[in-house]
Chains A and B, each alone.
Chain A
Amino acid sequence: QKEVEQDPGPLSVPEGAIVSLNCTYSNSAFQYFMWYRQYSRKGPELLMYTYSSGNKEDGRFTAQVDKSSKYISLFIRDSQPSDSATYLCAMRDYKLSFGAGTTVTVRA
């Protein structure tokens, strides 16, 4: 079993919809929880991070962490075609462990 599980999708939504992404994990030692965005044929870039449990909001993006359930989520409100990318969750103990990534397409 992988340490971090993420549904690879793909996910296709109309412009303006809410995008909901999630990951589950098995390692209780994870303290930092990250979401990276990766555009086609580019390297990943950090989108948001959360320390321990709780919510964090940044513009149209909201990250949630539920350590009791070992479950993290990313919500994108009012999605735009420019949000079309692969979203990777990542978690850290002494190193980063990544999910497989979910490919999202926002249709204009």
Chain B
Amino acid sequence: NAGVTQTPKFQVLKTGQSMTLQCAQDMNHNSMYWYRQDPGMGLRLIYYSASEGTTDKGEVPNGYNVSRLNKREFSLRLESAAPSQTSVYFCASYLSTSGRAHEQFFGPGTRLTVL
């Protein structure tokens, strides 16, 4: 099992450019999450998908959109990147029906720099 995979690993954008971060999991998890991690701020939830076909805003959704393409894949899109979106982005997943909702599995992250 590859677990949670993310592409790309690194990206540099200019202000105003758009891009999509990809996430996939092969653990048959139903719930998937996008976080950003900034120094001193911890992990902050951007969007989540409790199940295929549903998405909800998290703590910091402004400037982002998401798509739950199927059970495996959950993408994050920046329509018009801003320097404030420079961060490390993590995708996570878990199986909510397992009763172990604390056990989120994280991908390796995407390091994004917006100039």
Contact = CB atoms under 8 A, between A and B. Distances in A.
B82 interface: no
A46 B40 contact: no
Nearest to B41: A100
B43 interface: yes
A44 B102 contact: no
A21 to B, nearest CB: 14
A45 interface: yes
What interface size band does chain B fall in?
20 to 34
A42 B45 contact: no
B113 to A, nearest CB: 15
B108 A34 contact: no
A6 B104 contact: no
Which of B42, B58, B92, B107 is the most central at the interface, judged by chain A CB atoms within 10 Å of its CB?
B42
Contact of B40 (A4, A8, A34, A95): A8
Contact of A88 (B42, B48, B101, B107): B42
Interface residues of chain A: helix, strand, loop or mixed (majority): strand
A87 to B, nearest CB: 11
Nearest to A44: B106
B42 A92 contact: no
Contacts of B45: 95-96
22 contacts: A4-B42, A32-B102, A42-B108, A43-B4, A43-B90, A43-B92, A43-B106, A43-B107, A44-B106, A46-B102, A46-B104, A49-B102, A88-B42, A88-B43, A90-B102, A95-B45, A95-B48, A95-B58, A98-B42, A98-B43, A100-B41, A100-B42
Interface of B: 4, 40-45, 48, 58, 90, 92, 101-109
Interface of A: 4, 6, 8, 32, 34, 41-46, 49, 88, 90, 92, 95-96, 98-101
The 5 A-B residue pairs whose C-beta atoms are closest, nearest first, are: A43-B106, A98-B42, A98-B43, A100-B42, A32-B102
